[in-house]
A and B are shown apart, each in its own frame.
Chain A
Amino acid sequence: MTAVERPAPPPVRTHKEDRRWVGKSIRKVEDPKFLRGRGGYVADLVRPGTLHAAVLRSPMPHARILSIETAAAEAAPGVHLVVTGAQAAELTGPLPDFGPDPTKHTWRCLAVDKVRYVGEGVAVVVADDRYLAEDALQLIEVEYDPLPPVTDPEAALRPGAALLHEALESNCAYDRQFTFGDVARDFAEADVVVRDRLRWHRSGGQPLETVGAIADFDPATEKLTVHTNSLSFTSYMFMAAGALGIPMNKFDVHQVPAGGSFGSKLFVTKPTVIAGMCSRILGRPVVYLEDRVDNMSNCDHHGSDRVYDVELAVMRDGTLRSITIDTIDDYGAYIQFGVGHHGNALAQVTGPYTIGSVQYRVRAALTNKNQQGAYRGFGSEVNNWMLEQVVDKAARELGMDAAEIRRRNFIPPEAFPYFIPSGNVYDSGDYATVLEKALELGEYDRWRAEQARLREEGRYIGIGLISAQERSVFSATEFWFWFDEPNAPVTSSPESVTLGVDATGTITATLYSCAFWGNSPETMVAQLVAEEFDCDPHSVSIIYHGLSGGLPATGPGGSRTTVMLAGAVEGASAKIKAKARRAAAHLMEVDPEDLEWAEGGFQVRGVPDQRKGLDEIAAMLHMFKHSFPEDLESGLEESKVYDHPYTTMPAPDRSDLGVFYPFMGNACHVPVVEVDVATGEVRILAYAAVHDCGTLVNPRSLAGHIVGGTAQGIGTALYEEFVYDDEGQLVTSSFLDYSIPTAMEVPELRIGHVETPSPYTPHGIKGGGEGGRMMAPAALNAAVNDALAPLGVRVTELPMTPDRLRAAIREAGAAPGRG
């Protein structure tokens, strides 16, 4: 093996130490409007006169559409329009699809010749209101010719399985094995090979407001204006315009707060295309806002659904040498983001450990289910769970303590920047410190004693301990390095900010992508601007620019927004200060180099009473053009398009994927659970979480992320699952059957922070939006396994429902607890 030659990392930054606002738990800028009900969600923006669309959902998992009869629906009261899938295919193109071979698994806003999952849209009705639209849906008669449902990912790949997409000639949309490093040697030299088979079932983000779009086509200008709560703007919206067949310069999109996304609103274009298509036909505004069943069955954002076969090569002293991972991922009926979720896995495939080589095979199975999209973690959380499960199994087989095997394999602090076998870099980290802090915060030793005491009373207490990675700030390469000849090897993923200082000296920041999806972009930007200009963050005004005339922006996703906004704010601030410096120097008749920024203005170095405040400079620049040299333009407004700060290209043979997720956080979760072995119920008795996301911008908002993500991780571990039965019916299509944890199931978290700054980002910030969910499923599985160890039960399937736990306990021959 030859050593991989890698481009040098970016220059190491020196971070400001006396930060005034970055690191403070200021009150969130967004809260007052949301707490007053003035957030402006989609449903709030529907004006009188807007028509309402409703979609007829397929009751069949897999069937040919023989005929659709719409005459009765068209004649129903208040109905303006009925469009079938076949008609929609004449009016719109396929939806944006980053999958392996979009022409062979074509995805459209409504099904055309066949339906591929329960809930897939087959027709849309537009009526005066949603009630009338749903009444008319009942009058549409669809004749189906049923086909065999394909519901199991492994069965889907077997020869003879019914085909989802005949053009693909297989239900396997993707199959490739990657080898990074000398896996064969490492396995040959291993003392022990630990094998595991694991199953992670699908769940998904559950927003308060579902996905929706209000489309308003103006026949006079032929311009389509859309208000939608989908995320990811400007940079990729040309694809939605393309699906609608509308020129990009006649397509404007305005951001609406997510109302809960957790990934599930990442680049959702289907409602925009449906509403846009109908509005263009009718020349009137049309809203399509999913109801809960639409969302759960047809949102295109179910989460990962994987089967794993894993082998871990281990030395007797606990050293982890190599890992081979063979996973089948059930993508559902379409595969809009390709296998990007496994890019997330490969970004941190070896966790915080010095595992030297990796073999990774991924097969994407197509089945009769709603397709995968994004869910907090984007597949990295599944890898974390798999790795921590198999590391725990190794510790058991070697008779080692869970903490000890981890300590022995941590990448040491002096080894950063550290390239893992897949080629991604970890910028910085201090994993042992995070672990020790979590053990202390979680009272690990006290709980071990308590566990032994309660075991004597017949109670089953378990303590989980996991240490795992929290990647942030993705690069575009992870969506195409899967292919030798990618269709679109895109490398841009910018984010932009415009800063304006008006004539009175107050500052307005303009953002170009997300409206609000949980990371508090307004608070982040306000703090970062205040840090630059020594002003009160609550005095900074934030506005959102729509698509038309906007600067490039990729939108949130992959915990990128805060870092990217910080870079853009930093860049725009530097431009403002450069202009202000020149202006101040001219006004004070000194050399610009003799000035320094201090306390919100420029002063002569070391002479604080010879200064011009930013407000004075701004007033002069706005109002007194002729006081300045000819080339100083009026006003004080600057923009920065900030591109990804650290991306490198993959090797042509993909033996190295390059740097694509460089800002690497780390966390350690220590939950304590009690398993009621008679009912299979798991109760959480205590929970400690320590995260290192680099320099903190706002500890309180990050803690909110940790709590929310952990709550969702608890859901994934114990409660939530989209269950399709053998017939392909979605039996959990509302909150009646899809169980999500409530405040009663989520414990108070003890949260700790470690701050290991990134050397490559402004202030050393790393993203932290997904960490809770990346850790909790693994941590709770570890805790339950610890609890059930005395019974010889090890759970390898999530969620750990009472049914699954009871079945495992029964199988182990443990009697249901008597009296």
Chain B
Amino acid sequence: MKPPPFTYSVPTTVADAVALLVEHAEEEPRVLAGGQSLVPLMNFRLAQPGHLVDLRRVTGLDTLRLDGDHLVVGAMVRQATAERSPEVALAAPLLAEALGHVAHPPVRHSGTVVGSIAHADPAAELPAVALALDAEMTVVGPQGERRIPAGEFFLGPFTTALAPEEILTEVRLPRFPGGHAFVEFARTHGNFAVVGVAALVAVEDGRVSRAAVAASGVAPTPVRLAAAEEALVGMTGDDTAVEAAVDAATAGLDPAGDVHASAATRTDIARVCLREGIGRALRRAEDRR
């Protein structure tokens, strides 16, 4: 469990980092942030990059700030920092709640929010959060900067819309005016979840005005559960409405089974997480009014 040989650079600007990716393009370079996913994969030799571009000294990537209605999370913001940040608590409490489920505190002190999203593990929490919040991905490459909506970002397991020479420099999370919940089911505390659910619900005049529900662990990428959202909007948010949303959401699911849960059990567990997540988001939305 030792990585194969690789070279390593520590640039101080995003432009230099991109240039290094271009320079080492033949070596299948990878960007290193917190290293909590990439380095284990390298140790297992499942990832064998010939060059690593470490972002740790790139100026400005550790900023965590409010920009109008958006929370902007830079590529080097550690998960533990975001978890305890007042800005996150205010502008994206869903992210804060989800971070509490990410592995263990020592991992969160090194791992980054953006790195986890870029890694795009279909069982991970933060990609589902980004998807539920309709986050925008700020990407910098040789051609400059572009923004990718979260809905177009996750293409498959560990696969995103990022080009090989692009860096995900920040994630912009719009504020959601309503209730939130992140619920997951894991075999043991801190382990990868079997299923995770990110739920956002806004209530106006006693009826659901807006809903966003995303799940991890039920498909090759995190998925938005539009059917559940549609089932909720316009309803009063009572138990019947929640159950209808859960039914609508799971009707469209076709998860793969693995060693931790068969497809049937995964769907059973998704129902429970959805029911709890939507229910909790609804209660919080009602409390906020």
Contact = CB atoms under 8 A, between A and B. Distances in A.
Interface string A792-819: 0000000001110011001000001111
Interface residues of B, number: 29
Given A131-B2, A679-B269, A803 B189 contact: no
A700 B187 CA distance: 31
Contacts of A810: 264, 268
A741 B243 contact: no
Nearest to A721: B259
Contact of A678 (B3, B44, B194, B271): B271
A819 B242 contact: yes
Nearest to B261: A803
A803 B187 CA distance: 10
Nearest to A134: B2
Contacts of B191: 739
A462 interface: no
Nearest to A733: B44
Q: Is the interface of B mostly helix, strand, loop or mixed?
A: loop
B259 A732 contact: yes
B239 interface: yes
A41 B271 CA distance: 47
A802 B271 contact: no
B268 A741 contact: no
B16 to A, nearest CB: 28
Contacts of A807: 262, 264-265
Contacts of B143: none
B153 interface: no
B111 to A, nearest CB: 15
A135 B5 contact: yes
Contacts of B146: none
A678 B272 contact: yes
Interface in B67-101: none
B2 A130 contact: yes
Contacts of B275: 819
B275 to A, nearest CB: 7
Contact of B260 (A737, A740, A819): A737
B272 A719 contact: no
A680 interface: yes
B182 interface: no
A819 B244 CA distance: 11
B206 interface: no
Interface string A728-745: 000110101101111011
A744 B190 contact: yes
B21 to A, nearest CB: 24
Q: Which of A736, A803, A807 has its CB near the most chain B CB atoms (within 10 A)?
A: A803
A648 to B, nearest CB: 46
B188 A803 contact: no
A654 to B, nearest CB: 41
Contacts of B268: 678-680, 806, 810, 816
Contacts of B194: 802
A31 interface: no
B4 interface: yes
9 contacts: A134-B2, A138-B45, A731-B259, A739-B191, A802-B261, A802-B265, A803-B261, A806-B268, A806-B269
Interface of B: 1-5, 44-45, 185, 187-192, 194, 239, 242-243, 259-262, 264-265, 268-269, 271-272, 275
Given A731-B259, A807-B262, 18 more contacts: A131-B3, A134-B45, A135-B5, A138-B4, A678-B268, A679-B268, A679-B269, A680-B265, A736-B192, A742-B190, A744-B188, A745-B189, A802-B185, A802-B260, A802-B269, A807-B264, A816-B272, A819-B243
